Amino acid sequence: MGNTGPPRMTSWCRHCGAGIAAPPAGPSSGVRCALCRRVTRVERHRSVGSASSALAPLSPPRTARSARLELPAGYPASRGKKRAVLVGVSYTGTSYELKGTVKDVELMRNLLCDKFGFPGDSILVLTEESDDPSRVPTRENLLLAMRWLVAGCDAGDSLVFHFSGHGVQKLDTAGDEVDGYNEALCPLDFEDKGKILDDEINETIVRPLGPGVKLHAIIDTCHSGTILDLRYLCRLSRTGYWQWENHVRPGKSKGTNGGLAISISGCNDDQKSTESSVQGFSDTAAIGAMTDSFIRAVESEPGTTYGRLLSAMRATIRDSQGTGRRLPGRIGSFVRKMITSSAVQEPQLCSSEMFDIYRKPFLL
Q: What is the pLDDT of residue 161?
A: 97
Q: What is the pLDDT of residue 68?
A: 62
Q: What does the pLDDT look like over 255-291, one tens digit per residue?
A: 999 999 999 987 654 444 444 444 443 344 567 788 9
Q: What is the pLDDT of residue 20?
A: 54
Q: What is the pLDDT of residue 62?
A: 39
Among the listed ranges 26-30, 91-95, 185-189, 225-229, which one has the minimum average pLDDT value? 26-30
Q: What is the pLDDT of residue 108?
A: 97
Q: What is the pLDDT of residue 275?
A: 45
DSSP for 146-168?
Answer: HHHHHTT--TT-EEEEEEESEEE
pLDDT band at 301 (very low <50, low <70, confident <90, very high): confident
At residue 27, does pLDDT exceed 80? no
Residue 253: phi and psi, rounded to 5, are -75, 130
Q: Identify the burial level of 352 via C-beta atoms within 10 angstroms of its C-beta, where 0-12 means exposed, 13-18 middle and 19 or more buried.
A: buried
**Mean pLDDT calculated for residue range 210-236:** 88
Q: What does the pLDDT look like over 9-23, one tens digit per residue?
A: 445 555 444 455 655
Which residue segments constitute the domains of the chain, with CATH numbers given?
Answer: 9-55 (no CATH), 82-351 (3.40.50.12660)
Q: What is the pLDDT of residue 221?
A: 87
pLDDT band at 6 (very low <50, low <70, confident <90, very high): very low
Q: What does the pLDDT look like over 169-194, one tens digit per residue?
A: 776 666 666 665 778 999 999 999 99
Question: Which are the catalytic amino acids?
Answer: 166, 222
**Mean pLDDT calculated for residue range 64-79:** 70
pLDDT band at 339 (very low <50, low <70, confident <90, very high): very low
Q: What is the pLDDT of residue 162?
A: 97
Q: What is the pLDDT of residue 170?
A: 72
Burial string for 295-304 (b: 16+ CB within 10 Å, else e) reads bbbbeeeeeb
153 compared with 346, residue with greater pLDDT: 153
At residue 65, does pLDDT exceed 60? no
Find out whether 64 and 208 touch, Cβ atoms under 8 Å. Answer: yes
At residue 2, does pLDDT exceed 90? no
- Compute the half-sphere exposure of residue 313: CA atoms within 13 Å on the CB side of its CA: 28
**Mean pLDDT calculated for residue range 146-173:** 89
At residue 106, does pLDDT exceed 90? yes
Average of per-residue pLDDT values in the chain: 77
Q: What is the pLDDT of residue 344?
A: 65
- Which segment, 37-51, 160-174, 191-205, is predicted with the most confidence on average? 191-205
Nearest CA to 197 among 173, 228, 219, 225? 228
136 compared with 47, residue with greater pLDDT: 136
Q: Identify the burial level of 96 via C-beta atoms within 10 angstroms of its C-beta, where 0-12 means exposed, 13-18 middle and 19 or more buried.
A: exposed
**Mean pLDDT calculated for residue range 97-107:** 94
Percentage of the chain surpassing pLDDT 70? 65
Q: What is the pLDDT of residue 73?
A: 84
